Amino acid sequence: NNMADLAASFFLRETYGFPHDKLVYDQDGTPLKVGILDGKLVPPFGEKYVRKVKDLVLRDDDIILIGYPKTGCHWTYEIINMIIDGNAQHSNHGKMVGFMELASVDLLESCAGRRVLNTHLWFENIPKQATEKKTKIVLTVRNPKDTAVSYYNHHVSLEYVYGYNGTFKSWFALYMQGQVDYGSYFDYYQQWDHDIKN
């Protein structure tokens, strides 16, 4: 580990206070750190904010961008902001400002102007007011094979967060079994399909 990795790891632990609740092991015995939220696998950080997301006060013009990790949320975030701003410039503040898993409710509520909030959470975890106010929700979807490759690289490149440095083949077995943060790609979208229809 280099100093930047150690500093980032310390920052996540101290700032977001969500020590990993579980180690998931791939077929080679390599561990992947995950957290647990209401019985579901999530990243090993952000618990104190995630549990408050349901109570976030939404504005009438809010947009919530949602998708399984690595399904194009960042690019979609930029496109939505370009449409809102009426120009083809990248946003000045970046997607993480409105990322509900890592931002305090106070920070989200203090954002000026129209907000594009974003999350990888499930319908049951988004703000309660989303259905009451009929908030616009944009759900991103990407080919699951492409998603898998990108998500593997995400886990390996953030070894200081996830503690994972295994092979793609071994990680892919975890992905197919839903043993990565946010669970199974397929279960994630089946659940969203069910929730949207009901």
Per residue in 79-137, pLDDT (tens digit) is 999 999 899 888 777 777 788 888 877 888 888 889 999 999 999 999 999 999 999 99
Question: What is the arithmetic mean of pLDDT over 31-57?
Answer: 87
The pLDDT of residue 8: 54
Q: Delimit the domains of the chain by residue range.
A: 16-196
Nearest to 88 by CA among 106, 73, 75: 75
| Helices 144-157 and 185-197, packing angle to 10 deg | 120
The answer to whether the predicted template modeling score (pTM) of the entire model surpasses 0.85 is yes
Four-CA torsion 161, 21, 38, 55, nearest 10 degrees: -50
> What is the domain class of 16-196 according to CATH?
alpha beta
Four-CA torsion 184, 186, 187, 193, nearest 10 degrees: 150
The pLDDT of residue 47: 77
User: Which residue's entry shows tokens 């990565």?
Assistant: 180
The pLDDT of residue 1: 45
The pLDDT of residue 84: 92
Question: What is the arithmetic mean of pLDDT over 168-192?
Answer: 97
DSSP code for 56: P
